């Protein structure tokens, strides 16, 4: 008996989960599930470092909404024509449930929110760990959240890569294909590439946590550097519209900057540890 091996990956027929009269977008569910995983894993890791059990969830109350807002702002800035170009709807920039969250904006503003929440909680009582340790604790969980969240892009049939006929190519419905690519049926599943890379990096960081326990902040620096390295490669495959600087997508420049800053921080922490 021969088993038929699919030559491509199908895209979901719908991006909505129908629960009687209630319709929920899988994109939103992916984000919510990712946040839950990040908080649960981050909480366990923070407790192991000496933090109160509720620290991560308390910080998340501020950091998660800030991250969503920051992610949306970054997405709109890097893809302005979709909302403010010819035929665009400026009000749709507010429709987060339709997809479109830039990870760098989410990390940036979410990080600011986490810092303020952490300082507030620290003033109210002993949080048990430093903010650098807190960042190390939540880094793997953030990566798992990013991996899970990328499946929301799969349901929305968005942010895929260049056309390809590889066995794992992703089928995209004609209505979702960008201008100039209507004749192609299958594309690089960049959502899957990023999900797999994020998962691998998360596992690596978990294994390295004990090694860097005496030098807080290095695990988070590795998170930024390694994720950015993978994102740098993935950006070269994407074909969705985005702002460009000197012929390169803005996300490419952001990834390069993040890698440099993360490696500088990591190196400085190493030099500091050798002088102590």
Tell me, yes or no, whether 156 lies in a domain.
yes
| Confidence bin at 276 (pLDDT 50/70/90) | very low
Q: In angstroms, rounded to a whole number, what is the distance separating the alpha carbons of residues 18 and 167?
A: 31
The label of the residue with tokens 């793997």 reads: 140
Say if 134 falls within a structural domain: yes
**CA triple 76-77-83, angle to 5 deg:** 45
pLDDT above 70 (res 6):
no
pLDDT tens, position by position, 62-112: 999 999 999 888 888 877 777 776 766 777 777 776 667 888 899 999 999
What is the mean predicted confidence (pLDDT) over 191-201? 97
Question: pLDDT grade, residue 226 (50/70/90)?
Answer: very high
Does 10 fall in a domain?
Answer: no
Which of 3-12, 150-159, 208-217, 266-275 is predicted least confidently?
Answer: 266-275
- Contact of 143 with 205, CB cutoff 8 Å: yes
pTM of the model: 0.90
* In a domain? residue 12: no
Residue 125 has pLDDT above 60, yes or no: yes
206 located within any domain: yes
Range of the domain at 64: 27-275
What proportions of the chain, in percent to the nearest 5, are helix, strand and coil?
A: 65, 5, 30
Taking all residues of the chain, what is their mean pLDDT, rounded to a whole number? 89
Model pLDDT, residue 87: 66
127, 103 Cβ separation under 8 angstroms: no
Nearest residue to 232 (alpha-carbon basis) of 202, 207, 203, 260:
260
Give residue 273's pLDDT band: very low, low, confident or very high (50, 70, 90). Answer: very low
On the question of pLDDT at 275 being above 70, the answer is: no
Our CA angle for 102, 107, 111, nearest 5°, is 150
DSSP 32-98: HHHHHHHHHHHHHHHHHHT--TTHHHHHHHHHHHHHHHHHHHHHHHHSTHHHHSTT--GGGGG-GGG
Residue 248, classed as helix, strand or coil, is: strand
Residue 16 resides in a domain: no
Residue 1 lies in a domain: no
Provide the β-strand partners of residue 170.
9, 187
Domain count, the chain: 1
The answer to whether residue 127 is domain-embedded is: yes
């Amino acid at each position: 008996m021969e088993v038929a091996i699919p030559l491509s990956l199908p895209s979901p027929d719908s991006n909505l989960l129908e629960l009687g009269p209630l319709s929920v977008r899988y994109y939103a569910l992916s984000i919510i599930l990712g946040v839950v995983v990040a908080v649960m894993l981050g909480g366990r890791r923070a407790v192991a470092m000496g933090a109160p059990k509720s620290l991560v969830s308390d910080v998340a109350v501020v950091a998660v909404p800030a991250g969503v807002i920051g992610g949306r702002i970054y997405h709109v800035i890097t893809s302005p024509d979709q909302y403010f170009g010819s035929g665009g709807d400026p009000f749709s920039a507010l429709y987060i449930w339709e997809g479109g969250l830039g990870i760098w904006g989410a990390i940036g503003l979410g990080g600011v929110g986490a810092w303020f929440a952490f300082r507030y909680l620290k003033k109210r009582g002993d949080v048990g760990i430093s903010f650098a340790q807190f960042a190390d604790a939540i880094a793997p969980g953030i990566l798992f959240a990013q991996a899970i969240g990328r499946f929301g892009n799969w349901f929305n049939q968005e942010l895929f890569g260049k056309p390809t006929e590889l066995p794992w190519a992703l089928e995209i419905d004609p209505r979702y294909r960008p201008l100039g690519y209507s004749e192609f049926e299958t594309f690089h599943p960049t959502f899957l590439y990023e999900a797999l890379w994020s998962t691998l990096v998360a596992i690596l960081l978990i294994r390295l946590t004990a090694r860097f326990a005496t030098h807080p902040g290095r695990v988070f620096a590795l998170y930024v550097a390694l994720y950015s390295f993978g994102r740098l490669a993935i950006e070269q495959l994407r074909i969705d519209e985005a702002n460009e600087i000197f012929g390169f997508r803005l996300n490419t420049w952001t990834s390069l900057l993040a890698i440099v800053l993360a490696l500088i921080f990591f190196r400085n922490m190493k030099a500091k540890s050798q002088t102590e």
